[in-house]
């Protein structure tokens, strides 16, 4: 069967695959290590990255802590953020980007300030995590202040289904909890104080629940 | 029996140095520093303690592989606990960080190491903060730093936070990540004991393994070896999760029946349900069916290996009879597809194709022959990559097909019916990739006629 080329859906950059060549401009030379004289880096940020570099025998080891630092500063690993990290670490932006794109916790596209990772791995999904994730997406309602993501096992299967809200582990979650979390984040309150993992005692002191039903 | 870790774990403020010292903390360190490093190593070897991270390699042996003499050697604590179903290190580090620090100082003394790192996964924000605070306290008191407690031992410990990658729990990928690179596994040999971090000899151990060290020094290696079974010594913190009434961490002496863990401690599946299958050691371990014979297996390294599975990281995930096995297989495969680093083709492509085939099964486009192809894909991943991430998908998926083939076939037929495709035509796969085991001859069809 002949394919009509005009019927093949393409993205703006001419490819059928989204975003494959997004960051690449083939007419440019590859970026070199940024020049400290022309790359402004906030003083506090520079000091933080340099402190990380000093902890290791090889300063390059600080690339993940440096990316954490610039991500906290800029909200995401933006091209500016990457360039600043590269400038302080004396590495190329391409190297920093290669590291940033490998790890799940670095956002290379702009995201909301409130990070909600909903665990959708095996143990949590046995307890209904997929429904919780859908509820969470609905509760956030596409608000750009929220970064809601399904995440691989977060290491808290004892409170399945669970989520990490700005680094705070909470669970077991129900559908209603999702709306509460979103509301509490917007009001700047502590999330689900009664369901935080850090307050959970050892398991054999707890009563047998009906979890899993 | 007196437990090693969980006895006082809920002691208020155990994570502070003051309370930890009150409960007998850092006594083992003082004792160890009075001994010669070789004698500490002898105790570790006598204890027979095996790695708690997944591979179950004897820790004392691993330490003895490190070259002797003065050179840059490193100790790395693997706290990148990402294996689905595992959450023991999280609770241990959060509630008792000083035990880990003490274990690391003693292990470093035994191996002649001066620099060490704790590679903790980036998601454990709270636990990393606790470790940082504990290290600051220990440094203040002179437990870390130069000439610890007046001895010749010098050690520095740095907490390194990861950023979300399952592969970084693999020891060589962890080393690459710690060197500031993408977390790709390395070719072995050379093993990290000879050439690891910054090309120096490196000892890598799991959190729980290192936490055993102060207990071994305190009790003596031989007394420690009396706990558990002959080849699986000591206690184990087991994470039980999934379809159970009280999921959580339970510390047990190795070798108790698995049934006791699943039913007595974790409460078993909810009323009216039965255990259909269980992962004995995290999602990378082949599943075992919920038969009486399997549930009565002693929970130790060798018994589980003999039954065709493994103790792995010591995480039991229970699947009850209300869960379709195809869903579990699909979740498992999707996880490994997402986490494959992409360096080796069998893993990168094999995980992807397994997901695609499982999606075909679930959407009603598959035929029973797809099961054979899928099983053969799993066979071809195992042993063909630099690390075992691919194997970690191939083994559970392969075991699910082996134990639950009827259910897979029924699922395929049911979904085909829903799709209006009708029952699959019985096929005889005579290709090169016909899959493992004896070929299943379709009933009522003459196999020779099918060829003609």
3-state secondary structure B404-424: CHHHHHHHHHHHHHHHCCCCC
Mind listing the pLDDT tens digit for each residue in A60-69? 999 999 999 9
Window 81-140 of B: residues touching A by CB (8 A cutoff) are 81-87, 89-91, 94, 115, 121-126
Crossing angle for the helix pair B125-140 and B97-111, nearest 10 degrees? 60
pLDDT of residue B447: 47
For the record, the structure tokens of B335 come out as: 């996880």
Choice among A21-30, A92-101, A129-138, B377-386 with the minimum mean pLDDT = A21-30
Strands (E), A50-159: 114-119, 146-151
- Whether A3 has a pLDDT exceeding 80, the answer reads no
For the record, the structure tokens of A7 come out as: 């019927």
Q: Which spans in B112-219 are helix H?
A: 125-140, 171-178, 207-219
Cβ count within 10 A of residue B165: 25
Residues of chain B with pLDDT > 70, as a percent, come to 93
Kindly list the residues from chain B whose CB atom is less than 8 angstroms away from the CB atom of residue A104.
163-165
Taking the alpha carbons at both ends of chain B, their separation in whole angstroms is 69
Which residues make beta-bridge pairs with A115?
A147
Tell me which residue has tokens 């598959």. B366
- By three-state DSSP, how is residue A38 classified? coil
Sheet containing strand B202-206, edge to edge, reads B156-161, B115-120, B74-79, B202-206
Mind listing the pLDDT tens digit for each residue in B119-149? 999 999 999 999 999 999 999 999 999 999 9
Q: In Å, how far is A163's CA from the nearest CA of chain B? A: 11
**Segments of chain B with pLDDT less than 50:** 434, 437-439, 442, 447, 450-452
- ipTM exceeding cut-off 0.95 for this assembly: no
Cα B354 to Cα B346: distance, rounded to the nearest angstrom: 11
Q: Do A202 and B125 touch (CB under 8 A)?
A: no
Cα A8 to Cα A29: distance, rounded to the nearest angstrom: 32
Q: Given B163, B243, B279, which is nearest A103 (Cβ)?
A: B163
The CA-based angle B59-B394-A162, given to 5 degrees, is 75
pLDDT of residue B427: 56
Cα B105 to Cα B213: distance, rounded to the nearest angstrom: 10
Q: In Å, how far is B438's CA from the nearest CA of chain A? A: 31
Mind listing the pLDDT tens digit for each residue in A10-32? 777 777 766 655 656 677 788 89
Cα B448 to Cα B452: distance, rounded to the nearest angstrom: 7
Kindly list the residues from chain A whose CB atom is less than 8 angstroms away from the CB atom of residue B6.
202, 204
User: pTM of the prediction?
Assistant: 0.91
Residues of chain A with pLDDT > 90, as a percent, come to 75
- What domains are defined for chain B? 17-225 (3.40.50.11540), 235-320 (3.10.20.600), 325-429 (1.20.1440.230)
């Amino acid at each position: 069967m002949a394919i009509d080329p005009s019927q093949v859906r393409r993205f703006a950059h001419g490819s059928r695959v989204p975003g494959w060549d997004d960051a690449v401009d083939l007419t440019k030379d590859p970026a070199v290590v940024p020049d400290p004289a022309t790359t402004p880096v906030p003083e506090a940020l520079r000091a933080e990255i340099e402190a990380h570099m000093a902890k290791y025998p090889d300063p390059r080891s600080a690339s993940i802590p440096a990316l954490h630092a610039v991500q906290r500063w800029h909200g995401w690993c933006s091209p500016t953020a990457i360039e600043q990290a590269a400038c302080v670490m004396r590495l190329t932006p391409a190297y920093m980007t290669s590291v940033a794109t490998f790890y799940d916790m670095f956002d290379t596209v702009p995201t909301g300030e409130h990070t909600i990772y909903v665990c959708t791995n095996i143990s949590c999904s046995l307890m209904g995590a997929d429904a919780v994730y859908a509820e969470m997406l609905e509760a956030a309602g596409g608000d750009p202040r929220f970064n809601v993501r399904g995440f691989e096992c977060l290491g808290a299967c004892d409170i399945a289904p669970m989520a990490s809200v700005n680094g705070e582990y909470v669970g077991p979650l129900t559908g209603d909890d999702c709306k509460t979390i979103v509301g509490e984040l917007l009001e700047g309150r502590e999330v689900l104080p009664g369901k935080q993992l850090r307050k959970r005692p050892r398991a054999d002191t707890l009563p047998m629940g009906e979890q899993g039903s | 029996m007196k437990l090693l870790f969980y006895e006082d774990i809920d002691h208020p403020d155990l994570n502070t140095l003051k309370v930890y010292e009150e409960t007998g903390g850092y006594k083992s360190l003082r004792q160890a520093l009075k001994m010669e490093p070789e004698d500490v190593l002898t105790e570790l070897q006598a204890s027979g303690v095996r790695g708690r991270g997944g591979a179950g390699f004897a820790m004392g042996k691993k330490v003895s592989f490190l070259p002797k003499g003065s050179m840059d050697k490193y100790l790395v604590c693997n706290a990148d606990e990402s294996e689905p179903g595992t959450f023991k290190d999280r609770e241990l580090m959060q509630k008792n960080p000083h035990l880990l620090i003490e274990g690391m100082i003693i292990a470093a003394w035994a191996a002649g190491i001066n620099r060490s790192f704790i590679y903790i996964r980036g998601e454990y924000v709270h636990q990393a903060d606790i470790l940082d605070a504990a290290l600051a306290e220990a440094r203040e008191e002179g437990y870390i730093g130069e000439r610890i407690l007046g001895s010749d031992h010098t050690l520095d410990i740095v907490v390194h936070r990861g950023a979300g990658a399952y592969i970084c729990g693999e020891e060589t990928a962890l080393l690459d990540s710690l060197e500031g690179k993408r977390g790709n596994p390395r070719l072995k040999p050379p093993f990290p004991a000879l050439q690891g971090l910054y090309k120096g000899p490196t000892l890598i151990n799991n959190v729980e393994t290192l936490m055993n060290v102060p207990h071994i020094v305190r009790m003596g290696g031989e007394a420690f070896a009396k706990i558990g079974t002959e080849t699986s010594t000591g206690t184990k913190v087991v994470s039980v999760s999934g379809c159970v009434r009280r999921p959580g961490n339970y510390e047990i002496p190795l070798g108790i029946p698995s049934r006791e863990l699943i039913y007595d401690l974790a409460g078993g599946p909810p009323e009216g349900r039965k255990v259909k299958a269980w992962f004995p050691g995290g999602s990378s371990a082949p599943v075992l069916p919920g038969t009486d014979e399997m549930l009565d297996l002693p929970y130790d390294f060798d018994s589980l290996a003999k039954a065709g599975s493994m103790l792995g990281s010591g995480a039991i995930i229970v699947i009850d009879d209300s869960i379709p096995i195809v869903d579990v297989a699909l979740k498992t495969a999707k996880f490994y597809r997402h986490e494959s680093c992409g360096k080796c083709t069998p893993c990168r492509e094999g995980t992807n194709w397994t997901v695609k085939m499982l999606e075909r099964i679930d959407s009603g486009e598959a035929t029973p022959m797809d099961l054979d192809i899928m099983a053969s894909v799993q066979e071809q991943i195992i042993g063909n990559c630099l690390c075992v991430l691919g194997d970690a998908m191939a083994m559970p998926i392969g075991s699910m097909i082996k134990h639950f083939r009827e259910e897979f076939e029924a699922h395929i037929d049911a979904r085909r019916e829903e799709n209006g495709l009708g029952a699959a035509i019985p096929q005889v796969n005579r290709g090169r990739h016909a899959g493992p085991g004896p070929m299943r001859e379709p009933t009522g069809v003459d196999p020779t006629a099918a060829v003609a």
